[in-house]
DNA sequence: CGGCTTATTGACAGGAGTCAACGCTGGTGG
DNA sequence: CCACCAGCGTTGACTCCTGTCAATAAGCCG
């Protein structure tokens, strides 16, 4: 709450290079800050929005992490995304103006609240921002396509390896260690995201550990053999690649 | 080829209600037509674009159908989408300005070629078009999330039922029969899309037929019991929904 | 410490993949 | 016109990966 009116702005935000301001001039960033004033702190387990909530804001993650998920007709849940700082949440709600899924904080997190109508209006005036919004939409689509590839074609082993590498690379891109990090989500969340069960995930983690690929202590992970892990993640198919 | 310069325009296009013009004024449609003049005919098996091609255009399907697919590091292919008339192809290429996957015609098809920079420029001037573009992006994201749900959580049976219903409803929305239609894609494409094998798909089709849910003759399908099929598609989970 | 959720490990079963043979269909060329 | 071929589709037998069920262990917070 105290941060609601803090001095933090896009210009000096630690994730500005990964977020909306990317590629914008200082002048444009100044204008962008008019719509990014509002911050919000979310505690672990709390939701940013729920399925069915009206769509009014996008949320840019400043710190922490989230899972987003959709809920099927039968009530079954699919985790669709683990979101890290610099990423935007809520894009899939624009059409229909209702959030089709929910976003839940995996740890204490801080977000920028972006009233979409304001952002939209600004983008109309600032072509570079417009492009950046398209780019984020498009990037999201590309990522989901890759997730589809993962779920559709790969073995359980390959999926987990791919997730570890994906998270590793995303942390490293933010300036953190690529080899040591904390998985803020539960085994069940990981399993759900990968289309597996918690037991399978647990067994795979144990196996990777026995194979000296990783070292795990609860939720903290240290990658020992990134190359081998990449190979497992990449190609483990029956036909030659 | 003759259609390239035909009189067909957005204003009288048979799929206008599903395409970009939806919700635009006549005046705005007239402006949009300045960037939708070019049409293209694609024969079955030919590609609209390939993975790695530079991104210059979006394509709006006027008739026919396409599959779009991404190619993994190991060379494995995942069909991500079956596209029908009124739908847009190529959105995931904006960021990176390169097509991450390819789009292949499943039958002789006709598309509008939309040079994206022109479309972008026009959208900057026509807010309603801007909104429509956001909406399409967002809708696409929502659909991909549902696809993730399908691949991650559902049984083979449930997946195939869901695909049949999905295609049925999309055809019916376009004014065709909801119960009788032709699957323009091969069993292998279906299997790939659903994260299954061709054999499993074939077996399931046979089973559905024995259960009197559908009648199949080659690629033409007739749905006999939509209710039962929906139930299979919806909830077939172990825990109560 | 005690009660809770989360994680690990094991035994077992079943669904979907794999391999393989065969039938069907549509196109091509003699 | 028909024979041939190649690719697609169907069916069967068998295997194995992953889910299910269950018991135990390890964290976590009051």
pLDDT surpasses 70 at A5: no
pLDDT of A234 > 90? The answer is no
Evaluate whether residue B135 is within a structural domain: yes
Name the domain count of chain B: 2
- The radius of gyration of chain A from alpha carbons, rounded to an integer in Å, stands at 19
**One domain for residues B81 and B137:** yes
A111 and A168, same domain (yes or no): no
CB A81 within 8 A of CB A151: no
Centre a 10 Å sphere on the Cβ of residue A11 and count the other Cβ atoms it contains: 12
* Same domain, residue pair A36 and A87: yes
Beta strand pairing call for B220-223 and B180-182: antiparallel
Q: What is the mean pLDDT of residues B190-198?
A: 97
In the structure, how far is the CA atom of residue A37 from the C1' atom of nucleotide C13, in angstroms? 56
* Per-residue pLDDT tens digits for A65-75: 999 999 988 88
Same domain, B35 and B130: yes
Residues B165, B136: one domain? no
Single out the residue in B96, B125, B150 at which a domain terminates.
Answer: B150
Cα–Cα distances in Å, from B177 out to A123, B89, B167, B180, B182?
A: 42, 24, 11, 6, 10
**How long is the CA B137 to C1' C7 vector, in angstroms?**
39
* CATH code of the domain in which B142 resides: 2.60.120.10
**DSSP per-residue letters across A72-124:** -TTS-EEEEEEE-TT-EE-GGGTTTTB-SEEEEESSSEEEEEEEHHHHHHHHH
- Interacting residues of A236 by C-beta distance below 8 A, sequence separation 6+: A154, A155, A157, A158, B74
Q: Which residue, chain included where needed, has tokens 């922490």? A: A64
Which residues fall within 8 angstroms of residue A211, CB to CB, at 6 or more apart?
A: A228
Q: What is the CATH number of the domain that holds B163?
A: 1.10.10.10
Spatial distance between the Cα atoms of B36 and A225, rounded to a whole number of angstroms: 51
- Please give the pLDDT value at position A239: 34
Residues with CB under 7 A from strand D: A 155-157, 195-197, 199-200, 218; B 186-188, 198-199, 201-203, 205-206, 216, 218-219, 238
Same domain, A11 and A118: yes
Q: Which residue has the tokens 């105290």?
A: A2
Copy the structure tokens of residue B53: 């091609």
Determine the distance in angstroms separating the CA of A109 from the nearest CA of chain B, rounded to an integer.
Answer: 24
Both A42 and A120 in a single domain? yes
Residue B146 and residue B214 in one domain: no
pTM as predicted: 0.92
pLDDT digits (tens, 9 = 90+) for B122-139: 999 999 999 999 999 999
Residues B35 and B144 in one domain: yes
The alpha carbons of chain B give a radius of gyration, in whole angstroms, of 19
A130, B120: Cβ pair inside 8 Å? yes
The verdict on B61 and B126 lying in the same domain is yes
Query: Looking at the domain assignment, is residue A239 inside a domain?
Result: no
């Amino acid at each position: 709450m105290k941060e609601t009116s803090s001095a933090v702005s896009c210009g000096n935000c630690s994730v500005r290079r990964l977020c909306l301001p990317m590629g914008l001039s200082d002048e444009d960033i100044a204008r962008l800050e008019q719509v990014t004033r509002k911050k919000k702190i979310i505690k672990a387990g709390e939701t940013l929005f729920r399925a069915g909530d009206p769509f009014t804001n996008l949320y840019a993650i400043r710190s922490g992490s989230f899972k987003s998920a959709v809920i099927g007709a039968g009530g079954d849940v699919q985790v669709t995304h683990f979101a890290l700082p610099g990423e935007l949440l809520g894009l899939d709600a624009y059409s229909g103006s209702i959030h089709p899924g929910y976003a839940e904080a995996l740890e204490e997190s801080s977000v920028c609240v972006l009233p979409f109508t304001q952002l939209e209006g600004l983008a109309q005036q600032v072509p570079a921002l417009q492009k950046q919004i398209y780019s984020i939409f498009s990037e999201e689509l590309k990522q989901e396509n890759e997730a589809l590839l993962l779920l559709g074609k790969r073995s359980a082993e390959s999926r987990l390896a791919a997730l570890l590498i994906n998270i590793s690379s995303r942390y490293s891109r933010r300036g953190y260690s690529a080899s040591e990090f904390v998985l803020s989500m539960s085994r069940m969340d990981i399993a759900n995201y990968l289309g597996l069960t918690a037991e399978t995930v647990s067994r795979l983690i144990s196996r990777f550990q026995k194979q000296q690929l990783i070292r795990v202590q609860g939720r903290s992970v240290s990658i020992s053999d990134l190359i081998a892990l990449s190979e497992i993640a990449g190609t483990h198919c029956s036909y030659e690649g």
